[in-house]
Amino acid sequence: MPDWIFWVAGFLALGALGAYGAAQRAKQAQGLAQRLGFRFVGAGGYDVVGPFVLLGHPHTIAPGIANIARGEREGVELALFDYATESNEFTSVVLRAPGLDLPHVAVGPPSMVSLNGRIVVRPRLSTPLEFVERPGFKSLYWATAEHVTDREVFTPALLDQLEREPGIYLEALGDRVLVSKTRLKPDRRSRLLTDDEVPAFLDEALALFRLMAVRRGWKPAGS
């Protein structure tokens, strides 16, 4: 039997295994959405969550976004989803408050480990900003801004929160804020959060959102 037949059979088997894994993950995400009181949407792209640089925009045509679920907290619209890139997976959420106008800034770990231990530098908006009073910050995070004058977004309170929780990806863009969470496996690649870890992650994302939005006049619903 020709060798190519074994190659084709192997690829088909891997494809079937991948499809099965994706279906199982979607089922799990649907159950989590119900538990959180969210509405499961499923597939989507930049048109649903927003054109964030940390999600590969504009260079990636088909971003690894899956299992979107929509909800609301404190008058803020939430879109919870899985994001995959370079053999890493991140539980992510976009928080949106119509009328909010945040400058375009982003912050995240400088790099991550991909398949076979390859180091991948993460996207950024500019040369990383310097915080002289925090000499160790740049080893944890690169903070960048579309315009250097927008560095005022990175308040001491926001920087303190980030330093307490290494591995956060954060990007603000107009009325939306993206937050993704790194959870490292033994091979130093990121995995999705467990269902039990997600509620605390949403609380953490809301805390980061407040630190940025309140300074721009946003107030929680009912306040």
Predicted confidence (pLDDT) per residue in 155-186, tens digit: 999 999 999 988 999 999 999 999 999 998 89
Q: Three-state SS across the chain? A: CCHHHHHHHHHHHHHHHHHHHHHHHHHHHHHHHHHHCCEEEECCCHHHHCCCHHHCCCCCCCCCEEEEEEEEECCEEEEEEEEEECCEEEEEEEEECCCCCEEEEEEECCEEECHHHCEEECCCCCCCCCCCCCCCHHHHCEEEECCHHHHHHCCHHHHHHHHHCCCEEEEEEECEEEEEECCECCCCCECCCCCCCHHHHHHHHHHHHHHHHHHHCCCCCCC
- Return the pLDDT at 202: 97
- Return the pLDDT at 14: 37
Q: What integer best gives the mean pLDDT of the chain?
A: 87
pLDDT by residue (tens digit) across 17-30? 444 568 899 999 99
- Taking 50 as the pLDDT cut, the residues of the chain under it are 4, 6-19
